[in-house]
Structure 1
Amino acid sequence: METSKDRYRAPALDKGLDMLELLAGVDGGLTQAEIAKRLGRSHNELYRMLDTLVRRGYVARIDGDRYALTLKLFGLAQLHIPVRRLVSYATPLMRELAATTHQATQLVVFDRGSAVVIAQQEAPSYWGISIRVGSHVSLIDTGSGHVLLAFRPQDERLMMLAESGGDGAAQDVGPDFFAELDQIRDRGYEMMPSAQTAGVFNLSAPVLGPDGKALAALTVPYIHLVNDPAAPDIARTVKLIQETAERLSRLAGSDVGKEPQDA
């Protein structure tokens, strides 16, 4: 007898969700044959659904015939309530950071192939470099993009780059780029001349989640304020950004910056 639960099932959706849940639990991806075997379904049942997931960007082909999850689901989750909560936590801290550094500041997350500005605070004076909320910035040649990549494992870096610039993006940057990301992770921040605006330095530190991965990049597009002798220099500004990013990381549930408790 057909139950009400069976009557309202969506078999095609079930198949798609089964594949997503399966791929979420494996490293290195699976072939179509392996997916079919694990789910107890035929190749023909899965082919069209798998092709649709690839075309929509939820699954990527890797190593020729293997399929793995992209970060698109992660990006969708970033736009949900946790991101709004992160912005609400960040806003007063960013306002304080702008006041103490005399610079504009912005908060950037990775979303579906792009680094996206989700919050920004103007400089307190009339001099400052601001980027509009919702702007998309490069992963490869910005401080925010470097930090978002640096505080992720290598497999996730490759997926983020692939989503950002196509399958050839990771090969285009080369091994030196990944070595630079490792250096950023080791020192805890990025400081680089802007590739877009002369005289500006991108100063960026990670907002870390409980797993130690970057939830966001807290960035100051630093300009030397010759008419403001009270403004902190670039080294002091980096420290202030790191301190603020650590405070925001703790609000996000990270243990970064916490003093170890006595045993």
Structure 2
Amino acid sequence: MTKTNELHGPDEAKEDRYRAPALDKGLDILELLAETDGGLSQAEIAKALDRSPNEIYRMLDRLVRRDYVRRTLEDRYEITLKMFELAHARPPMRRLVSLATPVLRSFALKAQQACHLVIQDRNILVVIAQVDGPGYWNVSIRIGSRIGLLNTGSGHVFLAFATPEERVLMLEEQDMGSPETMPKGLEARLTLVREQGFEDLPSAQVSGVTNLTVPIFGPLGSVLAVLTCPYTQRLDKVDAPDKAQSLKLLLAAGREISQRTGEHTAE
């Protein structure tokens, strides 16, 4: 019989040894509230997580005191922006947003279109900055939103400029199989995106919107982020830039942000 010691036992034994039930409960609550609009009551949280009300009460009390969760006047619980603030406190992300924001604002003003900046975070695509165009009408996406990989301009640009190894990881992370199982025609599309340096893709989410996306390169030539404009034709302003002009402005904005990241690194 093989004896299993504490340090080198099966994976299950290791998981049991290092479990942190209180931490698991707190994370379960945060994840639940993050995907729920309008907040939840203590009873609703307990039922959703199959926990006792007392367990949930104690954990909610700590999360409220640490400002990760807020209690509303209606006695419901909502997640705060503290997690978002902590994520943006990371120096590389904070620097990138700081460098890119003036360029995004300039593009939005010139093109009269909204735009947003997307990064890869553990092979998940996340919006980290967004600027509306001038005027009353915009098609925009919320900061913190996760972006699809195979059906968006942002995803196509990241895939197009990724190495074969990086592409495999990106697909596996989002449970999309492997490069061999990608939708028919996508490989040729990604080759075109890489050759022309941008994506011009009708939105799969909103009718009448075309996603224009360009890469943001780092000092070593890798793609740090992508810049996307959800372009819509302006019917109220005859002098507004058309799609070709907006794409030209977007490419210039991508080059400027790429240049700024290189200059900042050199400093």
Structures share fold, TM-score greater than 0.5: yes
Aligned to 2:192: 183
1:240 and 2:249 correspond: yes
**Partner residue of 1:88 out of 72, 89, 98:** 98
**Partner residue of 2:133 out of 123, 136, 155:** 123
2:225 and 2:117 map into 1 onto residues whose CA distance is 7
Could you report, residue by residue, the CA deviation over 1:28-87 in whole angstroms, capped at 9, with x for unpaired residues? xxxxxxxxxxxxxxxx959759x98xxxxxxxxxxxxxxxxxxxxxxxx99831111000
Aligned to 2:227: 218
1:156 and 2:166 correspond: yes
The offset of 1:171, in angstroms, is 3.9
1:184 and 1:46 map into 2 onto residues whose CA distance is 48
1:78 and 1:185 map into 2 onto residues whose CA distance is 29
1:238 and 1:109 map into 2 onto residues whose CA distance is 20
2:139 and 2:152 map into 1 onto residues whose CA distance is 14
The code of the aligned residue for 2:90 comes to H
2:140 and 2:202 map into 1 onto residues whose CA distance is 16
Aligned to 1:230: 239
Aligned to 1:136: 146
Q: 1:211 to 1:226 in 2, by over 3 A?
A: same
Aligned to 1:31: none
The code of the aligned residue for 2:142 comes to R
Q: 1:174 to 1:199 in 2, by over 3 A?
A: closer
Q: 1:236 to 1:250 in 2, by over 3 A?
A: same
1:176 and 1:155 map into 2 onto residues whose CA distance is 20
The offset of 1:182, in angstroms, is 1.6
Give unmatched runs, 5+ long, in structure 2.
1-6, 16-86
Q: 1:175 to 1:158 in 2, by over 3 A?
A: farther
The offset of 1:177, in angstroms, is 1.5
State TM-score, norm by structure 2: 0.64
2:241 and 2:218 map into 1 onto residues whose CA distance is 28
2:89 and 2:156 map into 1 onto residues whose CA distance is 21
Query: What's the secondary structure of 1:251's corresponding residue?
Result: helix
1:79 and 1:216 map into 2 onto residues whose CA distance is 17
The offset of 1:178, in angstroms, is 2.2
Alignment of 1:5-44 (within 5 A): none
The code of the aligned residue for 2:194 comes to R
1:99 and 1:205 map into 2 onto residues whose CA distance is 18
Query: What's the secondary structure of 1:253's corresponding residue?
Result: helix
State TM-score, norm by structure 1: 0.65
Q: CA RMSD in A?
A: 2.5
1:112 and 1:148 map into 2 onto residues whose CA distance is 13
The offset of 1:202, in angstroms, is 0.2
Give unmatched runs, 5+ long, in structure 1.
1-43, 53-76, 255-263
Aligned to 2:118: 108
Query: What's the secondary structure of 2:113's corresponding residue?
Result: coil
The code of the aligned residue for 1:232 comes to P
Q: Is the 8 A contact 1:104 1:123 kept in 2?
A: yes
Query: What's the secondary structure of 1:221's corresponding residue?
Result: strand
Query: What's the secondary structure of 2:139's corresponding residue?
Result: coil
The code of the aligned residue for 1:204 comes to T
The offset of 1:191, in angstroms, is 0.3
Structure 1 stretches of at least 4 aligned residues deviating more than 6 Å after TM superposition: none
1:171 and 1:116 map into 2 onto residues whose CA distance is 25
Aligned to 1:147: 157
Q: Is the 8 A contact 1:143 1:202 kept in 2?
A: yes
2:146 and 2:242 map into 1 onto residues whose CA distance is 28
2:133 and 2:238 map into 1 onto residues whose CA distance is 15
The code of the aligned residue for 1:250 comes to Q
2:89 and 2:261 map into 1 onto residues whose CA distance is 15
The offset of 1:113, in angstroms, is 3.6
Q: Is the 8 A contact 1:162 1:170 kept in 2?
A: no
Q: Is the 8 A contact 1:78 1:111 kept in 2?
A: no
The code of the aligned residue for 2:228 comes to T
